[in-house]
Amino acid sequence: MHFNIRGFLNQFKELKEILSLFHDIKTMHCIMLCETFLTDSNYVFYTIPGYKLVCSNRQTGSRGGVAMYIRDDLNYIICDDISVNINGKFESIFVEAHSKTIYCVIGEIIPVK
């Protein structure tokens, strides 16, 4: 599932309301988000039970950023070698996730305007 959240500060409550419409949210392995507007100090405030938050926050400016919630029964590693962010060009985040029955590489690439 993917959302352009356009800032957690104003949209987090709405995101949780949308996710509550799904009877069994645990069936979603990953929820990807762009335009998070998160920082390295505030991302810890945006937890969703049953998921771990992984994010790549923009280091310059106040907008941008990509993130994903990964179901907490999946083991994962962040793929730093392909999670490339080029200022003014694009932002990306990739993880390698696996469980007993699932193995996948999940990623998101967003062009920067």
In order along its 113 residues, the chain shows pLDDT tens digits of 899 999 998 899 999 888 888 766 567 889 999 999 999 899 999 999 889 999 998 877 778 899 999 999 899 999 999 998 888 888 999 999 998 988 999 999 999 87
Amino acid, res. 23: H
Domain 2-111 grouped into CATH 3.60.10.10 = yes
Q: Where are the domains of the chain?
A: 2-111
Q: What is the dihedral of CA 7, 13, 14, 16, to 10 degrees?
A: 110
User: Global pTM?
Assistant: 0.88
